[in-house]
Structure formats: structure tokens, C-alpha cells
């Protein structure tokens, strides 16, 4: 049970090295993956210390007692959400694909591959990208030009091409934020957004990229272009007006898992975000997200919340055999993804440090930017 719970918990941590607390948890198999943020990087005069990142990620790559490896993740989309800047290639926002015309899909695939080559050369396994949200609200404070377009089908196909490039580089991508954060006017980092569109509009616009992602994942060889989908801390009134998507069984299991047929790993957005944390404890949120159908819980900042979530999951597993079965099934999906990733990366070695900030990547970024 403890081994399974550990696979579900993916944590952020405070500094540029692996502290004693995190090291102990990794070695005990209590953390399935770690997430690297700007606070974990060593940056001097705008230049990131690449040696420090590579050393940090090497230290984070530890195996649980059962042999399951811990993975390392990063948010590296391009534009404003790009953790590692110089000397890595600085990618423009993905909305730039909207101006490219007929060759946008080809360029998206090349960008995904180039960005993925750099991410993997730095020692990361997971990139929480691409954005599958459709940018339909100019007042949206959080998605905006992170999206691949303003029209659902074009944005979806560009994002999936980008994801295929990531996969070819040996990086696990994650489509976000299900079932669509593109038309909100508030930021779920700060408060709980709500979308009141009718089902017909959601099906045509918000859900379309996720439907295509589910279809692509179903037919692809492992690990596939979209091995993970991240949920949104947004209330979708037409589906479930009572709770945000991350905590809704109707949204996560009923819609994503059953209606769209997605069989990959479902990741909660960060449970430390105020859309969740300001309304309930990490214990309630963790149990609610697993019951909704999430496989992985992100707890990116507060160590107290991480401990609370871990204890709550253990107690609920002991109390409720049905919940224990959900945890076991989620852990099996995570382990299967990790095995597929290990098999692929063993067969396809990473590019070396020369990939980081390569001149060809800079030229591709310039083409996207122009």
C-alpha cells in the first residue's frame, strides 16, 4: 500500500539541492516523481548553471525499494512558462504557430523535438506540455498565448504535433488542462474559475483537443504522444456544477476516462493552488482527486500539505477497500508509463550537452518568432 501511494505523490521541493527530507522520501519510495521549478535552479546574471541542473536531476533519479524509478518533471512550454532560459534555447509562445499557415504542423513537431532534446539532455523525464486549451477569451489571465491557437481543431493538431516531437525525443508529455481552461477570466492559481457554457459549446471547442489526444494515445505505441493529461481546477457547470474538475468523478472518470476513452495517466493540477487550497485541506483534496479518477497528485510547494496528503491516503486505504483498489489501479498505470519510458529511453539515447541551445534550435525559434 505504501509503495502504491508513493507512486501517486509527485512533489516540488524548496532549493537547488536534494535536502535530507526529500532524499529520505525518495529512497523510501514515498515520492513517485519530483518537479523542478525556478527556485531549484542556480541562475547568475540571467544565465542558468547547466552543470547544477544536470547534477540535481541525477541526484533526484532514485529508485524506490521495489525498484520503480522516480522521474523528474519540469514545466517547459516556451514563452512565459519556460523554467530553463539561457544558455538553453528561448522559445517564443506557442501561439506563434497561429501565424504560420500551412506549415504550422511541421514546425510544431520540429519545435517539440528540439525542445524535447534539450529538456532530456538536462536530465528531465517529463515536460508538463503541451497546452491543449483553446485561447478563446482575450481576458484570460493564465492561458493566453500559451495556447497553440484560437480555433479548436487547429490548436489541437498543432499541440499534438508538438507532443509527438517531445515523444520522439524521449520526453513524457502532458496535455493540459482538462476539460479546458482557455475561456476562463480568472486564474486558478489565485481563485476558483467557473465556466457556464452549454454542453454543445464545450463539446465543440473545449473538449475537441482532448478527444483527439485520447484518440492519439489509444492508437500509439507506448509511451505515445500524450501519455498524461492534467486536470483543471475549474468548475464546468454543464458537467458538474458542484466541484472543480479535478475533484469531479463526472469529469475525470465519466467524461475523460469513459466517454473519451483516455487510458493514460491522469494528473491533478497542483493541489497547492488557491482554487483548491483556499477551500479545503490537502487531505480532503487528495482523497477527492483519487476518488474522481486522478492517478497522480501534484503538491508543488507546501511540505505540510505533502505530509497531510500522504497520511490521508494511507488512512483512507486502510479504512476503505474500494479506495485502496483505486490507489492500486492508479499506481499500476504510473508504473506502466515508467516502464514504457525506461524501455524507450534505453533504446534511444539522449543527445549530449551540445543539444542545449543548439544553433539549429535557435534558428527554429527565430522562424517561429518572425
Q: Write the DSSP string, 3-64.
A: HHHHHHEEE--SSSS--HHHHHHHHTT--SEEEE-GGGS-EETTEE-HHHHHHHHHHH--B-
Question: HSE of 183 in the Cβ direction (CA atoms, 13 Å)?
Answer: 18
CA angle 364, 89, 358 (to 5 degrees): 70
Are the beta carbons of 229 and 210 closer than 8 angstroms? yes
List beta partners, residue 71.
Answer: 33
pLDDT the model gives residue 239: 96
pLDDT of residue 221: 66
In whole angstroms, give the CA distance from residue 250 to residue 256.
9
Would you tell me the crossing angle of helices 104-121 and 152-168 to the nearest 10 degrees? 40
Residues marked active site are found at 189, 269
What would the DSSP string read from start to end of 182-228?
Answer: TT-SS-TTTS--EE---HHHIIIIISHHHHHHHHHHHHSPTT-S-SE
Q: How far apart are CA 230 and CA 18, in angstroms?
A: 26
CB neighbour list of residue 228: distance below 8 Å, 6 or more residues apart: 126, 172, 173, 174, 175, 264, 265, 266, 267, 296, 337
Task: Divide the 370 residues of the chain into consecutive groups of 10 and give the mean pLDDT of each group.
Answer: 97 97 97 98 96 97 94 97 96 95 92 98 98 93 94 97 97 96 81 90 97 88 85 95 96 98 96 88 96 98 96 98 98 96 95 97 95
Distance CA 76, CA 85 (A): 10
**For residue 114, how many other CB atoms are within 10 A of its CB?**
23
Given this model, what pLDDT does residue 222 score?
65
Q: Which residues contact 258 (CB under 8 A, 6 or more apart)?
A: none
pLDDT, residue 285, reads 96
The per-residue pLDDT for 279 is 87
Beta bridge partners of 34: 11, 72
What integer pLDDT is reported at residue 68 of this predicted model? 95
What is the pTM assigned to this prediction?
Answer: 0.96
Residue 289: how many CB atoms within 10 A of its CB?
28
Burial profile 36-47: b = 16 or more Cβ within 10 angstroms, e = fewer = beeebbbeeeee
Within 8 A by CB and 6+ apart from 139, the residues are: 185
Task: For residue 193, give the nearest of 146, 142, 156, 239 by alpha carbon.
Answer: 142
Q: Which triple of cell numbers denotes residue 311?
A: 497520511
Amino acid at each position: 500500500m505504501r509503495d502504491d501511494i508513493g507512486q501517486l505523490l509527485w512533489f516540488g521541493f524548496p532549493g537547488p539541492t536534494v535536502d535530507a527530507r526529500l532524499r529520505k522520501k525518495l529512497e523510501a519510495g514515498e515520492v513517485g516523481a519530483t518537479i523542478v521549478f525556478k527556485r531549484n535552479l542556480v541562475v547568475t546574471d540571467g544565465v542558468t548553471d547547466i552543470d547544477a541542473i544536470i547534477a540535481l536531476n541525477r541526484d533526484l533519479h532514485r529508485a524506490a525499494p521495489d525498484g520503480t524509478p522516480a522521474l523528474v518533471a519540469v514545466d517547459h512550454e516556451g514563452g512565459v512558462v519556460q523554467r530553463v532560459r539561457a544558455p538553453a534555447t528561448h522559445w517564443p509562445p506557442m501561439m506563434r504557430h497561429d501565424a504560420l499557415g500551412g506549415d504550422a504542423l511541421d514546425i510544431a513537431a520540429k519545435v517539440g523535438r528540439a525542445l524535447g532534446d534539450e529538456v532530456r539532455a538536462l536530465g528531465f523525464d517529463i515536460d508538463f506540455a503541451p497546452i491543449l486549451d483553446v485561447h478563446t477569451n482575450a481576458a484570460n489571465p493564465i492561458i493566453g498565448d500559451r495556447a497553440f491557437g484560437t480555433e479548436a481543431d487547429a490548436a489541437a493538431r498543432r499541440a499534438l504535433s508538438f507532443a509527438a516531437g517531445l515523444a520522439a525525443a524521449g520526453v513524457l508529455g502532458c496535455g493540459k488542462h482538462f476539460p479546458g481552461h482557455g475561456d476562463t477570466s480568472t486564474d486558478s492559481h489565485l481563485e476558483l474559475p467557473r465556466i457556464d457554457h452549454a454542453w454543445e459549446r464545450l463539446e465543440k471547442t473545449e473538449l475537441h483537443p482532448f478527444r483527439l489526444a485520447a484518440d492519439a494515445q489509444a492508437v500509439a505505441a507506448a509511451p505515445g504522444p500524450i501519455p498524461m493529461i492534467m486536470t483543471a481546477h475549474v468548475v464546468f457547470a454543464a458537467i458538474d456544477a458542484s466541484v472543480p474538475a479535478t475533484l469531479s468523478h463526472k469529469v475525470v472518470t465519466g467524461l475523460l476516462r469513459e466517454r473519451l476513452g483516455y487510458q493514460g495517466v491522469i494528473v491533478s493540477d497542483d493541489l497547492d493552488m488557491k482554487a483548491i487550497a483556499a477551500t479545503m485541506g490537502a487531505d480532503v483534496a487528495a482523497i477527492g482527486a483519487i476518488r474522481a479518477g486522478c492517478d497522480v497528485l501534484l503538491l508543488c510547494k507546501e511540505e505540510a500539505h505533502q505530509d497531510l496528503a500522504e497520511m490521508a491516503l494511507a488512512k483512507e486505504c486502510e479504512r476503505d477497500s474500494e479506495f485502496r483498489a483505486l490507489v492500486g489501479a492508479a499506481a499500476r498505470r504510473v508504473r506502466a508509463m515508467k516502464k514504457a519510458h525506461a524501455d524507450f529511453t534505453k533504446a534511444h539515447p539522449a543527445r549530449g550537452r551540445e543539444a542545449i541551445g543548439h544553433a539549429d534550435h535557435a534558428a527554429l525559434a527565430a522562424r517561429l518568432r518572425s
